[in-house]
Structure 1
Amino acid sequence: MNPNFAASMATEATTKFQKSELLPVPQPPDFHPEIIVSPSHDGLQFWQFMIAGSIAGSVEHMAMFPVDTVKTRMQALVSCPIQQVGLRHAVRSILKSEGPAGLYRGIGAMGLGAGPAHAVYFSVYEMCKKAFSGGNPNNSAAHAVSGVFATVASDAVFTPMDVVKQRLQLGSSPYKGVMDCFRIVMREEGVGAFYASYRTTVLMNAPFTAVHFATYEAVKRGLMEVSPDSANDERLIVHATAGAAAGALAAALTTPLDVVKTQLQCQGVCGCDRFQNSSIRDVIRTIVKKDGYIGLMRGWKPRMLFHAPAAAICWSTYEAAKSFFQELNSGSDSSTVT
């Protein structure tokens, strides 16, 4: 090659590069620097977790409310000595004295409390799971701890309405409705009555949710590993099965504290014992004295019958709502890009 020609080419190239600001920089066809994606987890925003959780919680509790009523009635029996009442007898008694409507007394309070409480519950859980898992989706400890944080927050929202609900569920309840119960309790017992069981509720729901979430994530992962090829097609069945297993196990283990919670929330109503303070130890001592240690397991059957299908309904509804929002987000992202 001619040396003079090579030097000329080098000089020309240098001149062009020195004027590079005049040259367009080629970009990929789908490059859009003006689009800023906000932080998300599982492809969802915080408010979308709240809506999905609210829908799931409302559907779960409204569908299983009659079973919850039976459980409350069984746990709040006060005759001394307490007579053993089976699940079938409790249902028959309610239907005979009040008809089917008796199974739904207090459902308005549940409707007002379940949505907001579960919105807090699932959104806090998802945010904590993202923060604690360290990028490992199989971190059971992170799932358990996240569940504990979620229940502490959601119980603060739900406990007052749960007090109203359980008082309305009692046989011969003196209250006409949700607002009447709220006004009378506020006037006669003060705001503290709505949170008399909060400590017990948290102590019950903390291990409940730890067991529940850890079991749910583990069972879900196990079911998906059994048949990974059809995991997407059978996603609803996987969520429902994992939820039912988690709900039943957690419910059985925490029944004694649920009995204590019911006693504290219904104290002084329809002949239920009134306690000097909200001491869990004093309530347990009273229950054991009147009914023996078996009294601490009162209502375990309807409690499991409630939580197994309720968790299946809740988790499948929640995951379906999440899928809806994920598809909605991906669709909106595609339309924005194009």
Structure 2
Amino acid sequence: MQMFNSPYRSVVDCMGSLLRREGPAAFYRSYTTQLTMNVPFQALHFMTYEYLQELLNPHRQYNPSSHVVSGALAGALAAAATTPLDVCKTLLNTQEAQAIHVIQAEAATAAGAVGAAASSRHISGLGEAFRMVYRMGGMPAFFKGVQARVIYQMPSTAISWSVYEFFKYIITKRQHERRLRGDRDGDK
């Protein structure tokens, strides 16, 4: 449904059509690509958040502004760094007959008839996707949409970290109060 002029009316329509045409394997077409993208994204995200918390909130107290800033910047860095993987994943996920014809036309324009003949098959795998993206636009093509991805991730990760830290604060505060009450009750 990400494609321009998607033929599907809804998510359910898309799922039913894919299941009938391509079988259940279609839903896992880019599973390894997704994992390849999510592991470095999450690693960078968590390391950056923790590093920024050490700088902005060294005593690790509940501080909503430091959680928002650290979360937003961590999400931005992780999103920017993994954009090439996201571009390749999107290419793999959005392949249909129309998309392949567009790729063939762009490849033919960029590399002549020989390039078009080589790109006329279905792109499968991350390696092929990387080669196709590079052929279509060189290194800059790997960062198409980086601004949109960063702008999307910044508030998302800022909110996620803020909510996480809020609930962590509430839960640990209650546990601490219970322990204090237990100690006072034991002293009586």
Q: Quick check: TM above 0.5?
A: yes
Cα pair 1:263 1:273 within 8 Å, conserved = no
| Larger relative helix fraction | 2
SS in 1 for 2:130: helix
Q: 1:332 to 1:183 in 2, by over 3 A?
A: farther
Instruction: Indicate which of 245, 256, 265 corresponds to 2:73.
Output: 245
Match of 1:273 in 2: 100
> How far 1:330 sits from its partner (Å)?
5.0
Amino acid corresponding to residue 34 of structure 2 in structure 1? T
CA distance in 2, matches of 1:305, 1:209: 17
Shift of 1:316: 0.7
CA drift of 1:331 comes to 5.8
Identity %: 36
Task: Give the distance between the partners of 1:181 and 1:330, measured in 2 at CA.
Answer: 50
Q: Which residue of 1 aligns with 2:27?
A: 194
Aligned counterpart for 1:321 among listed residues 167, 170, 178: 167
Q: Matched residues in 2 for 1:217 and 1:177: separation? A: 39
Count of aligned positions = 165
Equivalent residue for 2:64?
236
Q: How far does residue 170 in structure 1 lie from its aligned partner after superposition?
A: 2.8
Question: What code does the residue aligned with 2:82 have?
Answer: T
Give secondary structure in 2 for the equivalent of 1:175.
coil
* 8 Å contact kept, 2:40–2:82: yes
In 2, the alpha carbon distance for the partners of 1:194 and 1:266 equals: 12
1:292 is aligned to 2:129: no
- Cα deviation, residue 323, structure 1: 2.4
Look up the match of 2:107. none
Q: 5 Å matches for 1:100-115?
A: none
TM-score, normalised by the number of residues in structure 2: 0.76
Gaps of 5+ in 1: 1-166
Match of 1:256, as an amino acid?
P
Deviation at 1:298, TM superposition (A): 0.8
Relative distance call for 1:260 and 1:332 in structure 2 (3 A) is same
Q: Which has the larger radius of gyration?
A: 1
Q: Which residue of 2 aligns with 1:255?
A: 83
Partners of 2:20 and 2:180 lie apart in 1 by 56
- Quote the Cα distance in structure 2 between the aligned partners of 1:175 and 1:186: 13
1:182, CA displacement in angstroms? 1.3
**TM-score for both structures, normalised by structure 1:** 0.44
User: What's the Cα RMSD here?
Assistant: 2.5
User: Is 1:212–1:247's contact at 8 Å kept on the other side of the alignment?
Assistant: yes
Aligned: 1:223 with 2:56: yes
**Offset, 1:232:** 3.6
| 2:31 pairs with 1:204 | no
